[in-house]
Structure 1
Amino acid sequence: MSARDAESGPLSPTGTINSATDRRRVAFATVVGTTVEWYDYFIYAAAAGLVFGQLFFAPAGEGMATILAFLTVGISFLFRPLGAFLAGHFGDKIGRRPVLVITLVLMGAATTLIGLLPTYSQIGVAAPIILLLLRVIQGISAGGEWGGAVLMAVEHAPKKRRGLFGAMPQIGVPIGLLLANGMLAIMTLIFPGDAFLEWGWRIPFLFSFVLILVGYYVRRRVEESPVFQEISVRKEAASAPIVQLFRRFFPLVMLAAFVFAGNNAIGYMTTGGFVQNYATDDSGLGMDPGPVLWAVTISSVTWLISTFVGGWLCDIIGRKTTYLIGWVLLGIAVFTLFPLVNTGDVVLLGVGIVLLTIGLGLTYGPQASWYSELFPASVRFSGVSIAYAIGSILGGAFAPTIGRAIVQETGSTDGVAYYLFGMVILSFVATLLLRDRRGLPLGPDHEPEQSRGIYAWEKK
C-alpha cells in the first residue's frame, strides 16, 4: 500500500501509520518555520516603504528614493526562481527537511545583518549595494522555503484533510506580516520621530536572530515527508527533476504561476509596503505611521482566519470552487480599497484592507493542497516551488513599484485599482483552465495517474 492510500493517515516506508501527534508536530513546525521566514521577508518590505528610501537612497531625491527602495523589494523576487530551482532539485533528491533548515538559516542571517548595516550617510554607496545583496539572499531563501513547507504539511496529511493541513504553512504568512508590522508599530511608540529613523527600525531585524533559533529547533524535530521516505526506500528519486519538470509539465508550471499571480499582486499592496507608504508619505496622505501599521497588523489577523477557512473549505467544496469564490470577492475588494484609504481615516483604511484579506485568504488557503495535487511525486518539490516563484514575479515582485509609479504619473489611485483587477482576471482564467484533483493519491506508485487529467479540457 502507498504512503498516500491510508485514509487514517500517511504510512511510513515500513508500513506503520504516522500518529496524530506526529502530524500535529509537523503542522506546528510548518507554521513556526514559515512565520519566521515571512516575518523576515515582510519586515524588509515594510521598512522599505517607511525608512529605507531616506536611509539608503536619499541622494536620488524623495520620490525616486522611494521607488528605488521598492525596487529592492521587487528585485529579490527575480532570485526566487534560483532558490526554487536549488531547493526543488535537492528537495526532490535528498529530502524536504534539510532544505527547509538551510532556507531558514539563510533568511535569518540576512535579516540580522540588515539590522546591523550602516546607512548611506555613514558608508556611502556601499550601503545600498550591501542592502541589495542581503535582499537577494532573502529572495533565494524565500524561493526555496515555500515548496518544502507545504509538502511537509500536505504529504503528512490524511487524504481528506489535505486542504486544512496545507493551510498551516499558509497561515505562517499572515502571522509573519502581523509580527513584522506589530514590531514596527511598537518601535514607533518606543522610538518616536527621529529615534525610529535612527535606531528603532533596526530592532525588529535584530530580533530575527532569536526567531532563527526557535525555528531551527522546531524544524530539526520533524520527521521527513513520508512520500519522500517512500521514494528514498525505492531509490526512485529523479536524477534531474527540473529537466523532467520543464520537459513534461512546462504549461502546468506556467498556469499554476498565473493562478498565484493575482493573489500575490494584491497581497503586496500591504505586505510590500505600498499602502503603508502611500498613507504615511507626505506626497500621499501624510498619516501617522503608528496607527497605519496597527491597521495592517489587525488585517493580518483577518487574513490568517480567512486563509485557515480557505484551507478547511476546500476540503469540503473543492480547491477550484474555493478559489473562484475568492477571485470574485477580490475583484470587488480592489475597487473598495482605495476609496476607503483615501478618506485619510485610519479606521476606514483598516476596513478597506480587511475586506481585501477575505478574498486573499480564500485564494491562498487552498494553494498548498492544490499545487501538491497538480504535480507528480518525482518532480513535486521542483514543480510547486518554481510555479510559486514565477507566480510571485508575475504578481507581487513589482506591484508596489508599479503602484507608486501609477500614482506619481496620474496623481490618482484609480489606475492601481484597474491594474489589480486585471491581475484578478488573469488568475481567474488560469484557475478555470486547471482541474480540481482533490483526493488524488500522492505516492510515487501513482505517477501515471498523477501525470494525466491535469487540465480542464482533458478527460480524466
Structure 2
Amino acid sequence: MKKSRVLLASLSGSVIEWYDFYLYGTATGLVFSTLFFPSHDPSIGILLSFATFGVGYAARPIGSIIFGHFGDKIGRKTALMLTLIGMGGSSFFIGLLPTYESIGLAAPLILVVLRLVQGIALGGEWGGAVLLATEYAPKGLRGLYGSIPQMGVPFGLVLGSLSLTFISYFTTDAQFLAWGWRIPFLFSVVLIVLALWIRGGIEETPEFKEQKESGQLAEFPIVDTLKNHWKNVVHAIGLKLGDGFFNVFIMSFILTFATVYLGYSKETALTALTVGCATMIITIPIVGYLSDFIGRKSIYIFGLVLMFLLSVPYFMLIDNSATWLYLMQAVMLGIIWAIIFATQGTLFSELFPAKVRYTGLSFSYQIAAAIVGFGPMAWTAMAKSYGPSPWVFGGFMIAFVFLSLVLSIFVPDTRKVTQYNDIADTIDQSARAE
C-alpha cells in the first residue's frame, strides 16, 4: 500500500468532516440565530443557536464509543467509511431544511437532530483518521504522519469559510439569508463521494491486522479502556481542555465576537479566520516533523506556555483594528494553536495499545471536546454581562491552559515511551527484501 494514498485518504476525509462541522459553526452566528431561533433579543437567538452548536460537541463522545468499538473490533477503514456517510448526509439535509418561518418549531428540532448526527460522526472520524496515518507511519516519522490528518482542520475550515465568504460577496444580505448559505451545505455531497472513493482503495492498517490475526481484539473496547487505561484517558482530557476552549473561540466564536461585540463586518471576521487557518496549513507539518526529533511532550508544553502568556494580550489587541485582528488570528490560531494541535493526535494515540487505541484516543479527545463545545454559551453570557473584556475572556482561557500545563508534567515523552509496535516499518522492509 502506497503511503501517499494512505495519507491522502486520512487527510481527505478529515478535510470534509471538518468542512461540514465548522461550516455549521460558521453559519451558527451568521444565519441560524436568525432563521431557526428568532427572538426579539439578539443575544437570546445567538445563545440558542450556539446551544445546538454545543449539542454537536456533546454527541461526539457517543460517536467515539460507537465508532471506536467498530474501529477496534472490525477495522479502522470500516469505521471511517461510516463516519463520512453520517457527516456528509446530515450536512446535505441541513442545506435542505425549511426555516422556522416555514415549519415553525419543527425547524430547530430537526436542526438539533441533524447536528447530533454530525457530532456522532465526527466523534469517530478524528481518531480513525489519525490512526490511519500513524499506524502506517515508518519508524521515526510518526509525528510527521500524525500531523497530516490534523491539517484537515484548517483545510476544512478554510474551505467552509471561503465558500460562505465567496457567496456573501456575490449576494445581498437578503439573498444570503434566503438561499445563499445553503449552497456550501449542499456541496457536501460532492466532497463525500470523492472521499469515499479515495478511502475505498486503501487496506486495513498493519497494526490492526496483526491484532486481528493474533486474536487479541478487546471484547468491549470502552470497558477495557476505562478499566486498564483510565489514567491516560484523564491525561488526554486534561491536556485537551487547555487548548480546546481557545480552539473553539478562535475557530468558531470569533465570528460572533468580532461582528456582534467588536463591530467588525462579516467579511472582515471571515477573512481573519481564513488568515489564521492558512497559516496553520504551513505550520502543522513542520511542527509534526520536528516532534520526531524534539519530542511531542516538549513541543506541546511550549505551545501551552505561549498560549498562557498571550491569552489576555490577544483579546486586548483584536479590539484595536482589523490589522491586529488578522495578525493575532495568524499568531494564536496559525502558529501557537497549530504547535499544540500538530502533535496532539500522535501524542494521544501513543498513550494506548493497539487493541483499544481507536476507542482510547477518540473517547479521551471527544470528552474534552464535549466540555469545550459549550464555551460559546458561556462566552455569550459573559459578553452580555461584561462586554468584550480582555481580562474576563483572557482569564477564562488562562484557567484552563494552566490546568493542562499542570497535567502535562505527568505525561510520558511518547517519542521514547510508546505503545506502538512499528509493524508498518517491518512490513515495508519485508516488501523491499522480496
TM-score (norm. length: structure 2): 0.94
**1:416, 1:335 → 2: CA distance?**
8
The one-letter code sitting in structure 2 at the alignment partner of 1:321 is S
> Match for residue 415 of structure 2?
438
Contact persistence 1:96–1:148 (CA under 8 A) = yes
Question: CA offsets, 1:192-244, max 9 Å, x none?
Answer: 22111111111111111111011111111111110001111112211111111
* In the alignment, structure 1 residue 139 sits paired with structure 2 residue 119: yes
Q: 2:199 aligns with which of 215, 219, 226?
A: 219
Contact 2:52 2:112 in 1 (8 A): yes
Which of the residues 129, 134, 141 maps onto 1:161? 141
User: How far 1:180 sits from its partner (Å)?
Assistant: 0.9
Moved more, 189-198 or 160-169: 189-198
Separation (CA, whole Å) in 1 of partners of 2:98 and 2:13: 29
Mapping 1:330-341, distance limit 5 Å? 330-341=307-318
Local SS of the residue matching 2:342: coil
* 1:340 Cα deviation after fit: 2.1
Q: Is the contact between residue 307 and residue 360 of structure 1 (CA under 8 Å) also seen in structure 2? A: no
1:161-187: CA deviations, max 9, x gaps?
A: 000000011010111111111111101
Residue 409 in structure 1 maps to residue 385 in structure 2? yes
2:298 to 298, 321, 340: 321
Does structure 2 conserve the Cα–Cα contact (< 8 Å) formed by 1:85 and 1:382? yes
Give CA deviations for 1:61-88 in whole Å, capped at 9, x if unaligned.
3111001111111111111111000111
2:288 aligned with 1:311, yes or no? yes
**Which whole-Å CA distance do the structure 2 matches of 1:76 and 1:170 have between them?**
19
Q: CA offset at residue 370 of structure 1?
A: 1.1
Return the letter of the residue paired with 2:247: G
Contact 2:138–2:422 (CA<8 Å) still a contact in 1? no
Equivalent position SS for 1:58:
coil
Match of 2:265 in 1: 288
* Structure with the bigger percentage of helix: 2
Distance 1:141 1:271 in 2: 20
What is the letter of the counterpart of residue 437 of structure 1?
Answer: T
Partner of 2:429: none
Residue aligned with 2:120, SS: helix
Equivalent residue runs for 1:209-358 within 5 Å: 209-272=189-252, 274-281=253-260, 284-343=261-320, 345-357=321-333, 358=335
Name the counterpart of 2:188.
208
2:11 alignment partner, SS class? helix
Do the aligned partners of 1:377 and 1:444 also contact (CA within 8 Å) in 2? no
Contact 2:354 2:419 in 1 (8 A): no
The separation in 1 between residues aligned to 2:389 and 2:205, in whole angstroms, is: 45
1:94 aligns with 2:71: no
**Alignment partners' CA distance in 2, 1:136 and 1:393:** 12
Secondary structure of 1:389 counterpart:
helix
In 1: Cα distance, 2:408 partner to 2:139 partner: 22
Residue 421 of structure 1 pairs with residue 398 of structure 2: yes
Counterparts in 2 of 1:224 and 1:60: CA distance versus 1, 3 Å:
farther
Q: Is the 8 A contact 1:373 1:442 kept in 2?
A: yes
Deviation at 1:60, TM superposition (A): 6.1
1:163-202 alignment runs, 5 A limit = 163-202=143-182
Letter in 2 for 1:314: S
* Aligned position for 1:112: 92
**Amino acid of the structure 1 residue aligned with 2:420:** L
Answer yes or no: is the 8 Å Cα contact 1:103–1:141 preserved in 2: yes
For this pair of structures, how many residues does the alignment match?
420
CA distance in 1, matches of 2:163, 2:377: 24
C-alpha distance in structure 2 between counterparts of 1:436 and 1:260, whole Å = 17
**Residue matched to 1:67:** 47
Deviation of 1:441 after TM superposition, in Å, equals 5.4
- Aligned-pair identity in percent equals 38
- Which of 19, 31, 37 is the equivalent residue of 1:51? 31
Instruction: In structure 1, list runs of 5 or more residues that go unmatched.
Output: 1-17, 446-460
Alignment partners' CA distance in 2, 1:213 and 1:138: 17
CA distance in 2, matches of 1:287, 1:66: 17
Aligned AA (1:350): Y
Instruction: Report deviation, 1:152.
Output: 0.7
1:329 deviation in Å? 1.4
The farther-off stretch of 317-326 and 365-374 is: 365-374
Residue 364 of structure 1 corresponds to 341
Q: Which amino acid aligns with 2:303?
A: G
Question: AA paired with 1:140?
Answer: I
RMSD, matched Cα: 1.4
Instruction: Check conservation: 2:80, 2:128, Cα contact below 8 A.
Output: yes
How far apart are the structure 2 equivalents of 1:286 and 1:102?
41
- Say which of 96, 99, 103 aligns to 1:123: 103
1:79 aligns with 2:59: yes
Q: 1:37 aligns with which of 8, 17, 23?
A: 17
- On the 8 A contact 2:51/2:374 being kept in 1, the answer is yes
Structure 1 position 331, deviation (Å): 1.4
Question: Cα offset for 1:291?
Answer: 2.2
Q: Per-residue deviation at 1:248?
A: 0.9
**Gaps in structure 2 of 5+ consecutive residues:** 424-434
Q: Distance in 1 between the 2:25 and 2:137 partners?
A: 33
**Tell me, what secondary structure is at the counterpart of 2:98?**
coil
Tell me how far apart the structure 1 counterparts of residues 77 and 3 of structure 2 sit (CA, whole Å).
15
